[in-house]
Amino acid sequence: MQTTTLRLGTRASRLALTQSQLVADALSSSSGLPVELVHVSTYGDRSTEAIAQLGGTGVFVSALRDALHAGTVDLAVHSFKDLPTAPTPGLTVAAVPAREDPRDVLVARDGLTLGELPPGARIGTGAPRRTAQLRALGLGLEIVPIRGNVDTRMGKVASGEVDAVVLARAGLARIGRLSAVTETLDPIQVLPAPAQGALAVECRSDDTRVRELLAALDDPAARACVAAERAVLAALEAGCSAPVAAHAELTEAEDGSAELWLRASVTAIDGSDSVRDSISGPATEAESLGRQLAAELLDRDAAALMAVSR
């Protein structure tokens, strides 16, 4: 039996390391093999630019993928929402582990909820999607662009630089910081980013051994939901910095089969207009459902809203 240590490429942020360790522990448990974390610095980590100006999807993953291609790591763990929708030659997402709650949350001063924040309150976020949807609520909030890791962004609330920040619930859950949440945002108000809360475990396509080992970590429900959400993004030809939201859930159809319900939206960055729609169908047709929903959004001028947001 081979006992070679598996080298797992990861970003070095607290959240990335926590996520990667979760995968490492699960993989070690299922395979009996030791797993070593290998820190890889990405352009997105080093840059202080706003997310929308960083150069598009992939700034947090390209260095990890280079390490995979070079053979210096055997697998890499990504936040799935950071991955470009186009396939990468030579690499495959071999596992999508069980997904955390994909919703956004508010971390605000004095325990306030979104509705309790006064007009003019300063809300920090670096995501165009969140910026657009928060503005669309018409609450008179001032949206402040911020960057940094989870602790840095929450620290801006503690210091009084902003009144609140909006973050992904999944990240706070993984690092044990849910106690800081003052409100979990209803997707009717703020629809999550495609693939938010999901992890992607990537390896070389020709590495049959690692692909087989990672298959034990794959969660079919998470993979189906993410496939539908990312199909919307791909069909809209939008990246992770576009004001596009999508959220899929699995339910049981009358015949006992898995049915997928998918919602998606595109919102102008100034919040002045948006289009939103939903679709449902067999979970086995996840990607097709995503493409169909994107087509409906495009028929309702979603492309024009994205153009205004660029």
Single out the catalytic residue among 11, 130, 135, 204. Answer: 130
Q: How confident is the model at residue 216 (pLDDT cuts 50, 70, 90)?
A: very high
Q: What is the pLDDT of residue 52?
A: 46
User: If we measure between CA atoms, which residue out of 38, 23, 4 comes closest to residue 217?
Assistant: 23
Q: What is the pLDDT of residue 147?
A: 85
Q: What is the pLDDT of residue 60?
A: 74
Q: How confident is the model at residue 253 (pLDDT cuts 50, 70, 90)?
A: confident
Instruction: Give me the mean pLDDT over the 141-156 stretch.
Output: 93
Side chain identity, residue 266: V
Q: Percentage of residues in the chain with pLDDT exceeding 70?
A: 91
Single out the catalytic residue among 11, 74, 82, 104. Answer: 82
Pairing of strands 122-124, 142-144: parallel
**Is the pLDDT at 280 greater than 80, yes or no?**
yes
* Annotation marks residue 109 as catalytic: no
Instruction: Give me the mean pLDDT over the 278-295 stretch.
Output: 97
Single out the catalytic residue among 11, 81, 204, 263. Answer: 81
DSSP state for residue 72 in the 8-state scheme: S
Contact 261, 281 (CB under 8 A): no
Radius of gyration of the chain (CA): 19
Phi, psi of 192 (to 5 degrees): -65, 165
* Annotation marks residue 225 as catalytic: no
Single out the catalytic residue among 147, 177, 291, 300. Answer: 147
Torsion angle, alpha carbons of 165, 19, 67, 1, to 10: 180
* Annotation marks residue 129 as catalytic: yes
Instruction: Give me the mean pLDDT over the 180-197 stretch.
Output: 97
DSSP state for residue 185 in the 8-state scheme: P
Mean pLDDT over the full length of the chain: 92
pLDDT tens digits for range 12-45:
999 999 999 999 999 999 999 999 999 998 655 5
Q: What is the pLDDT of residue 168?
A: 97
**Is the pLDDT at 54 greater than 50, yes or no?**
no
Write the CB contacts of 48 (distance below 8 Å, at least 6 apart in sequence).
Answer: 147
**Is the pLDDT at 229 greater than 60, yes or no?**
yes
pLDDT tens digits for range 127-142:
999 999 999 999 999 9
Single out the catalytic residue among 129, 135, 223, 230. Answer: 129
Helix/strand/coil (H, E, C) string of 104-132? EEEEEHHHCCHHHCCCCCEEECCCHHHHH
**Is the pLDDT at 104 greater than 70, yes or no?**
yes
Q: What is the pLDDT of residue 51?
A: 44
Q: Token match 């801006």: residue?
A: 156
Q: What is the pLDDT of residue 308?
A: 65
Residue 67's alpha-carbon distances to 20, 22, 295, in angstroms, are 15, 20, 36
Question: How far is it, in rounded angstroms, from Cα 31 to Cα 44?
Answer: 32
* Annotation marks residue 240 as catalytic: yes
Q: How confident is the model at residue 3 (pLDDT cuts 50, 70, 90)?
A: low
Instruction: Sort 140 into a burial class: Cβ within 10 Å, 0-12 / 13-18 / 19+.
Output: exposed
* Annotation marks residue 310 as catalytic: no
Single out the catalytic residue among 174, 230, 240, 263. Answer: 240
* Annotation marks residue 147 as catalytic: yes
* CB-CB neighbours of 202 under 10 Å: 24
Single out the catalytic residue among 99, 135, 153, 156. Answer: 153
Q: What is the pLDDT of residue 53?
A: 45
* Annotation marks residue 130 as catalytic: yes
Instruction: Give me the mean pLDDT over the 90-106 stretch.
Output: 98
Instruction: Give me the mean pLDDT over the 243-248 stretch.
Output: 96
**Is the pLDDT at 95 greater than 90, yes or no?**
yes
Please tell me the pTM assigned to this model: 0.91
User: If we measure between CA atoms, which residue out of 107, 286, 110, 119 comes closest to residue 181?
Assistant: 107
